[in-house]
Amino acid sequence: MARKYAVPKEIRALKPKGTMVKKISGGYYVYEFRTVRDESGKRHTKMGACIGKIDPERGFVANGASLRRQEWRTLEFGQWAVADDLSRGTHALLREFFT
């Protein structure tokens, strides 16, 4: 069964990563959001500040400095962290032989 969205697919494709788009009074506004867990372990979405809007002709239009902060927050380090953790023994051996 196909899901119904209030925001068209073309508009959702223009949003920055780690954001949510809401349609308000005919316009598309971009908000920060994050997922948190409550005491019972269920996930909930917490909406943040409005960081801009999406214009179908121009794409994402930021609200000033909040874009820089948003780009910083969406850095993904998961794969790097796994590789770093798995190679700690190798790092120790390399330090031992090359120092």
Neighbour-count burial of 36, counting CB atoms closer than 10 A to its CB (0-12 exposed, 13-18 middle, 19+ buried): exposed
pLDDT at 1: 61
Of residues 16, 24, 17, 46, the one with CA closest to residue 33: 46
Q: Which residues of the chain register pLDDT less than 70?
A: 1-2, 65-77
Which structural domain range is residue 81 located in? Answer: 9-98
Count of domains forming the chain: 1
What pLDDT, on a 0 to 100 scale, did the predictor assign at position 37? 87
2 in any annotated domain: no
Q: Is residue 81 part of a domain?
A: yes
Distance separating alpha carbons of residues 80 and 57, to the nearest angstrom: 36
Quick check: 74 and 17 in contact, CB under 8 A? yes
- Which pLDDT score is estimated for 68? 52
